[in-house]
Amino acid sequence: SNHMEDEEFLTKCVVDPTKRTFYLYSNEGDTKVVDCDDAEQFMNVLEVVRKLCPEERLSYASPL
């Protein structure tokens, strides 16, 4: 089996800047929700998410 197929990767990432929350969806069906306490932490997580998640899979929740 191809090693790459066994790796968990992000299929979709939704960023909610108003709530400072990230929703990370993996190819294995897992969803991780990351809540940030402040703007600095939010920016740090955003930087990591941008590295891990291809841009076409990254979306932003529109404020209501």
Q: Mean pLDDT in the chain?
A: 89
Residues 53-58, mean pLDDT to the nearest whole number: 92
> How far is residue 46's CA from residue 48's CA, in Å, rounded to a whole number?
5
- 18-48, pLDDT tens digit by residue? 999 999 999 999 999 999 999 999 999 999 9
Q: Rounded to 5 degrees, what angle do the CA atoms 29, 4, 21 make?
A: 40
Evaluate if pTM is beyond 0.75: yes
